[in-house]
A and B are shown apart, each in its own frame.
Chain A
């Protein structure tokens, strides 16, 4: 058989196995290696809430999808070209994500009677799962890993932990990946602490590569050329890391110490963990006793003059509601990050959704407006967090930044910016020893001045009780209404970038497709696909929700219909209906704890066109 190397534009690979099989690591390594190779890249970790669910069961399957391309890639891909299934359960859970032309790589050693039974499969899983027409490669990966390391002196358990390297080696062969990066990774990871593991892992990786090269089952291999990218220094970054770094950047530009009070919660914990690492940049982190203490320590820190942050996910945001009202009432700068997950209640903690928008906009007692904004990709979390902090500090308001599990855990290559290109952040500090009235406002922006304890002559009291401009408690009806209006108007006057139509007709269009948050990549891909099929649709994406961009109505007026795509039952479209009732809206919604498939959006565009 003649071996062919086929040039291909993009491929999607899904690594799947037991929660303990190291699939997240295998997928990340494949992604990082491809990023360094220069491919466009997007990743999607899809893992269960259980740390170690029952061995071999479908509920314990952990997956990591990588989409690489010779051009920019904006989504992790709907369906995969290669599925690595480390056991029958992984095959069962992921068979539905296989392209017609897909290849499946299975560890034969796990497809025994016991393994099939645990996965709830019969004797012939290939037929049962209707995947007979795919290219199935059955390799005894566990046995081969043992064989590879029989002289290593490692114990059985340690050897079995290396089998993910065998599959990674095979994947490297199939997609012509240079393995140098993985060698370096292994040296970095084990070099100092467990040097005895470096060579065995390298050997298994190489043996996997050679095995794939030698078996006849793999007819063709694929080459994905590096993407054309702007010049510069790149790194791979996930959304939680980017959020943390954006906050650190804002603290530097504001010349304020960063304070983060948070409580661990999936999928937001990564932000707190990342900030805890960077004390050299002045970040103080308090792992609070609960979500309420997280936000309350942050409010205290804001009063004391720090750039204060609290990070959480849906249920945690519910717990913080009352304190967020206090932050609105005291008009202190505070960044709240909500990495949304599938709800309500505990919901599906590791799965992504956009269902906290209503909570962000309305989830507090009284009239309680705050800025609400959203990040649209893993790397964009950096700019979104920076801008959230800039608005919070300069406008003396809490800002709620919505990201999503999909963004927090997903990663993409990022052209590293330079801090000199970011604007200064100027806190509206009061002048010491002048007459200070806590709620006296700037006539244009309605922003109050910030007097921080330690500033002589500006002693004052804030709190949850309604006050007048002088900071004196007031239950005067007219004053209360005026203060409510001013707090709302202050948020409305925050200047946010104009809404831009990214593609399609600017005027006289039939359909404007609209999205917000982490669906950006899927929706923009779908719009491009629809345009390629001669649907002349336009596309606009919202990074700011409260306030809306000032030109939103002007943009909408150019289209017959607005199709709003979001991962909830219609929270943004209903907000738009309330704010801008003069337009005709259609909606595409999905509440499955999963991202959109591009095809679902294309179908919705066609049926609304």
Chain B
């Protein structure tokens, strides 16, 4: 098979996101990741299906030169599930926003995670409704001012990570829109993961929520306020690579290596493959300023997938059942002959 480049995954459609929108970076990362995915997993391009719901980020399928389905608000996850179950040989990618996946489509989202359908969900989280021009979303922080919350919201936001892990999700990763390389790396890991992979991309909306992630994404502070987790590597972060995470009683604590007798050996090693969801939950829940925000693949565990389960039952029954065609079915059970 010839090696694809990102160009083969680019469609001829003009990208219509606002200049400076964080979605551009995620699209670029996906187009750069898919040649690697294709090579690593032996897929051919016609096996990719990119699905979306409604919202700014849901325009993404039009920009991919693959099979694509731009569906209706909130339902991308249900459509992806249908595609994957109908043909498990396809590789399904989904683009959806925080409103799309967590408000109107929240039900489908948690059930796809619970069932562990083998789809790759890129959740564009800009904490705002952009396409309807600036209303608060289920991930907007408490008190956020928007057109529909002129005096601030009075509701707690979802943290997508804890939602996914609470629903027994098998794969969760988080990143920033501008982390092109890390994002492609996450996407490759998601592709390799059998089951429902949720990748939360913290994206900036330049028009309606500019700078919503700035406090952590700002180049100046990013290294100190985020931590990139990689399986098997020490949980070390900081501009000077001198900060780390350690377990302290029931929780996590930030330490400085070289201070108070703390050495690198005391710092936790990330185990994304651990079944125990407790520490993954703590990592996903970390918030600035008490903690660095966790980026990278936080959880990646093996579990049976829904689509395999459905397919296996069909294979199993085909081998076992006396009913092999509809004529057999029609004649099964109680019948009688009129002579």
Q: Using CB atoms and an 8 Å cutoff, list the residues of chain A in contact with chain B.
A: 32, 35-36, 38, 229-236, 245, 248-249, 252, 257, 259, 261, 278-284, 286, 288-290, 292-293, 296-306, 308, 322-323, 325-326, 330, 415-419, 453-465, 472-473
Partner among A257, A416, A461 whose Cβ is within 8 Å of the Cβ of B69: A461
Query: Among A229, A257, A286, A326, which residue has the most Cβ atoms of chain B within 10 A?
Result: A286
If the complex has contacts A231-B338, A293-B108, A453-B90, are A461 and B62 also in contact, measured as CB distance less than 8 A? Answer: yes
- What are 10 A-B interface contacts by the 8 Å CB criterion? A36-B334, A229-B338, A280-B321, A296-B78, A326-B71, A330-B69, A455-B46, A461-B11, A461-B67, A464-B72
Q: Would you call A419 and B326 a contact (CB within 8 A)?
A: yes
Complex CA–CA separation, A417 to B111 (angstroms): 40
Chain A nearest CB from B86 CB (Å) reads 4
Stretch at the interface among B180-188, B296-304, B310-318: B310-318
Residue of B nearest to A301 (CB): B86
Given contacts A280-B318, A416-B330, A453-B67, contact A293 B336 (CB under 8 A): no
CA distance A303 to B78 in the complex (A): 13
Which 8 A-B pairs rank lowest in CB-CB distance, beginning with the nearest? A300-B82, A463-B70, A280-B321, A297-B82, A296-B78, A301-B86, A461-B68, A304-B86
Nearest A-chain residue to B310, judged by Cβ = A284
A290 proximity list for chain B (CB < 8 A): 107
* Known contacts A232-B337, A296-B79, A303-B79; A284/B108 CB under 8 A: no
Is B108 within 8 A of A454, CB to CB? no
A304 engages B83 (CB within 8 Å) = yes
CA distance A454 to B88 in the complex (A): 11
Q: Which residues of B contact A459 (CB under 8 A)?
A: 45-46, 65-68
A276's nearest neighbour on chain B, judged by CB, is B313
Q: Does B155 sit at the interface, judged by CB under 8 A?
A: no
Provide the bound-state CA to CA distance between A232 and B11, in Å. 59
Q: Are B69 and A300 in contact (CB under 8 A)?
A: yes
**Contacts A293-B108, A298-B82 hold; do A453 and B324 have CB atoms under 8 A apart?**
no
Interfacial chain A residues near B65, Cβ < 8 Å: 459
A231–B337 alpha-carbon span in the complex (Å): 7
| A382 closest partner in B (C-beta) | B330
Alpha-carbon distance between A463 and B75 when the two chains are bound, in angstroms: 12
Cβ of B335: which chain A residues have Cβ within 8 Å of it? 233-235, 416
Measured in the bound complex, the distance between the Cα atoms of B335 and A232 in whole Å is 10
> How does the 8 Å CB contact mask read for B37-76 relative to A, with 1 for contact and 0 for none?
0000000111111010010000001100111111110010
The residue that A300 contacts in the complex, of B51, B313, B334, B336, with Cβ under 8 A, is B51
A234-B336, A298-B82, A453-B46 are contacts. A279–B314 as well, Cβ < 8 Å? Answer: yes
Contact, CB under 8 Å: B338 / A296: no
Q: CA A458 – CA B61 in complex, angstroms? A: 15
B57 → A minimal CB distance (Å): 14
Q: Which of A235, A245, A300 contacts B81 (CB 8 A)?
A: A300
A259-B82, A280-B321, A456-B46 known; A473 and B327 CB under 8 Å? no
Q: Are A299 and B321 within 8 A (Cβ)?
A: no
A280 touches B323 (CB 8 A): yes
Asked if A300 and B314 make an inter-chain contact with CB atoms under 8 angstroms apart, the answer reads: no
Cβ 8 A contact of B49, one of A296, A304, A418:
A304
Q: Is the CB of B70 within 8 A of A464?
A: yes
Q: How far is the CA of A279 from the CA of B330 in the complex (A)?
A: 15
Q: Is B219 an interface residue (CB 8 A)?
A: no
CB-CB under 8 A from B49, the residues of chain A are: 303-304, 453
Chain A residues whose CB sits within 8 angstroms of the CB of B321 once the complex forms: 279-280
Residue of B nearest to A181 (CB): B334
Which residues of chain A come closer than 8 Å to B320, judged between CB atoms?
Answer: 280
Per the bound structure, the CA–CA distance linking A280 and B320 in Å amounts to 8
Whether A300 lies near B78 (C-beta < 8 A) is yes
Given A235-B334, A459-B45, check contact A286 B66 (CB 8 Å): no
B86 near A259: Cβ-Cβ < 8 Å: yes
Q: Which residues of B contact A472 (CB under 8 A)?
A: 13
Residue among A234, A257, A296 having the largest count of chain B Cβ atoms under 10 Å: A296
Q: Which of the residues B45, B318, B326 comes within 8 Å of A279, measured between beta carbons?
A: B318
Is the C-beta of B218 less than 8 angstroms from some C-beta in chain A? no
Closest to A244 in B: B329
Contacts of B83 in A (CB 8 A): 300-301, 303-304, 453
A261 to B82, Cβ gap below 8 A?
yes
With contact pairs A297-B78, A298-B82, A301-B82 given, residues A462 and B68 touching in the complex (Cβ less than 8 Å)? yes
Assuming the contacts A461-B69, A464-B71, asked whether A299 and B82 have C-beta atoms less than 8 A apart, the reply is yes
Q: Roughly how many angstroms separate A462 CA and B44 CA in the complex, as a whole number?
A: 20
The answer to whether the Cβ of B325 comes within 8 Å of any Cβ in the partner chain is: yes
Question: Does B3 lie at the interface of the complex (its beta carbon under 8 Å from any beta carbon of A)?
Answer: no
| Whole-angstrom distance between the Cβ of B112 and the nearest chain A Cβ | 9
Query: Which residues of the other chain, A, contact B324 by a CB distance below 8 angstroms?
Result: 280-281
Q: How far is the CA of A458 from the CA of B45 in the complex (A)?
A: 11
Binary contact readout B90-131 vs A (1 if CB under 8 angstroms, 0 otherwise) = 100000000000000001100100000000000000000000
Most A C-beta atoms less than 10 A away, residue of B78, B80, B83? B78
Given A289-B111, A296-B108, does the pair A453, B87 have CB atoms closer than 8 Å?
Answer: yes
Known: A236-B334, A286-B310. A296 touches B323 (CB 8 A): no
Known: A245-B326, A453-B49. 9 other contacts (CB 8 A): A235-B336, A245-B330, A279-B316, A299-B79, A304-B83, A323-B75, A330-B69, A419-B326, A453-B46
Asked if B329 and A245 make an inter-chain contact with CB atoms under 8 angstroms apart, the answer reads yes
Whole-angstrom distance between the Cβ of B220 and the nearest chain A Cβ: 40
Contact with A along B230-250 (1 / 0, CB 8 A): 000000000000000000000
Bound complex: CA A56 to CA B9 (Å): 68
